[in-house]
Structure 1
Amino acid sequence: MNVSDAVDAVLPSVVDDLAALVAIPSVSALPTHAGYVQQSAEWVVAQIRALGCDDVRIVTEGGQPAVIARFPGPVGAPTVCLYAHHDVQPTGDVALWTSDPFAVREADGRLFGRGVADDKAGVMVHLAALRAFGGKPPVGVTLFVEGEEEIGSASLATILERHRDLLAADAYVIADSGNWNVGEPAFTTTLRGLVDCVVEVSTLDHALHSGQYGGAVPDALTALCRLLATLHDADGNVAIEGLSAMPDPELDYPESRLRAESGALDGVRLLGEGPIAGRLWTKPTATVIGIDATSVADASNTLAPSARAKVSVRIAPDADPGQALAALTTHLQQHAPWGARVRVSDGTKGSGTTVPFQGPFADAARAAFVEAWGVEPVFTGQGGSIPMVADFQQAFPAAEIVVTAVCDPDSRMHGIDESLHLGDFAKACKAEALLLARLAGEAG
């Protein structure tokens, strides 16, 4: 049986097991779900042991549980580390989902559920490739399934340091990005970094009657709104001084496509200027992702003494996160209206990176993907942040890294009704198995 046929043979069980993994609500951001994150890691361990591999362990290093498993290859064969993560984002308002987020639903050739694409499908792509070889891959394979990617991978650097011997490899496959389109695979070559903070604005030492004092005394929520509005200029360009940008990519990203993919309402202008790909992949962004203030339901005619917001800034792939966070903090402190007091609390920092696609491993990956997908891959950037890529580059500078995908523009990662295209999932599984075979010099 050739490699493609072997993948076809295991795919039904792989899809069933993907549904079983999605059913575990491993939301790493919620302390109440810590038991589920542990259960998810243990589920992955069970699948690995079922392949006959006993060299598997769960590591935490102060964070959420990650799984490391080692499948030895023939003497002299290269070793490939396959990465994915088993934790998922919160669901948001469950009432907005078409069905239970943690019970996979199939419709129109897609599976729907939280984490079904990001990134439990990535976990299952790796397991599919290993199953296709009966747990005995033709090269050495290290499987690394992280448990806290969705909350910034805070313990990853420690894991890489303390378990370096287990994770060292000649090449790394990071299965956690996005494809260019349904039927069109992509390798990601740039990733933006991320910094965020919480900004609190205060104007009073206690709440006041808005009729008695309004018109002369500023309320904190209005002051906060005016402050947040300074993050962009009138055209939607980020106005934070000190943030850098990389040159625009050459790949064309039509505005019509972006509008269709994003669901932008008719008449709503896009932010910023210049090519779409540059705005999405190589220029900074500023987004208000949360506000603490009195809810509409609880509103009264009151001047609020304080209000706060969380601001998330994506930074250019080559930007320094520390400098970017300092620039954001300085901007917020210097643009407070009406003398309002501003306090900024640092949040997370994550480096972006560029991922050169060159070398014998990259050549083998490209050939495997062409064979599996039937088309040439597209080389793209990603506006989202995958800080662990930079961590791997720093820890193993001599290794090649390729960033692959299971998601497509309709997958709605992190959103309502997240989904996975089943046809593309099958091709991703075949591509990875074919890559391992090519690295061993075997025919597909």
Structure 2
Amino acid sequence: MTKKIVVTGLGATSPLGGTAPESWAALLAGESGVASLQQDWVKELDLPVTFAAQAKVRPEDVLSRQETKRLDPSSQFALISAREAWADAGLEGSDVDPDRVGVDYSTGIGGLWTLLDAWDTLKEKGPRRVLPMTIPMLMPNAAAAAVSMNLKARAYARTDVSACASSTEAIANAYDHLQKGYADVVVAGGTEAVVHPLPIASFAAMQALSKRNDDPATASRPYDISRDGFVLGEGAGSIVLETEEHALARGARIYAELAGGGVTSDSYHITAPDPEGSGAARAVYAALGQAGATPDDVAHINAHATSTPVGDIAEYKALLAVFGDRVHSIPVSATKAATGHLLGGTGALEAIFTILALHNRLAPPTINLTSQDPEILLDVVTSPRPLGDGPLLAISNSFGFGGHNSVVAFRSY
């Protein structure tokens, strides 16, 4: 028998705010989390891109000194957001069975700061000065491990690494794990902390980043005719998922239902999406199929919409293939315009925005859209828009290098 899976807790640390409610409020207010970088290495290395979307609240202002010393920034963000989600779900200090709590957590790159700092130390000071915690801090599963140990989640702790689709895939996997009875409660999400000169230089070299150094706040402009690339972001998002039976038994507040997820592969190109969006379309169909829904049921879309010239059109073609002409009347939000692109953490943050859109029956705005690309005829939400009464279904899309496609579907509760 298919179980109903529900969302009971939300947590985020993002370029818009240090918590999920703060991030949501700033998103609705049309704020941008993008700004010029003030680090010395920007000028020292003559970087072609001098801005990013950094987390608004620094982890060292939230965590203990010991935690910041023993965790890479990616794990720091994960722990902050997971603790918030856990408390928001009313599970802090509860008698939930640790053996029935799982973790599905993700990253696109992992502990990059730890890895590169250790390499610098090795070159400059020799092997004896390399920290013994280097490997546990840089490994991609470090965030999942930190969350599991902190929350005493002993059912399992798994890590998804599928580039920018990672945390949406983690949520889809959590749905499957709850259906299979691996756990009663799962903390799912994703994190990334790579606002570092090497990724900036690398992404810029492949012409993926916007180069609007003179106006960072408007640099991420999904669907705009003048879009020129994405903005690198950082942070983490976490959601607590439970079987409905378990949530109701403990009197939990329920935000929404996680109705299903879909994961596919383009098998096309290491960085470019399938130009026709066929793999992405199959992921949407898979998520709707698992949700027992049809394209006609979808009332809102949180799009991947990175603001790259090629990617935005490929996603539009995928949506057009699924929804036909009806896609032109479905409210679409492209929230990376405000947050930048959190890579492996972006899907979790956007899932939170999708959940809150359903919970509040309000689609968040897409900022920086001044002249919409005539080849992308979506109904883009540019100011907060009511979603109406009755049952609502929404999808959140994530696509990543390597041809990874992940889509999750949420239903109002």
Q: Answer yes or no: same fold by TM over 0.5.
A: no
Normalising by structure 2, what TM-score? Answer: 0.27
Normalising by structure 1, what TM-score? Answer: 0.26
Which structure's residues are more often helix, by fraction? Answer: 2
Larger-gyration structure (1/2): 1
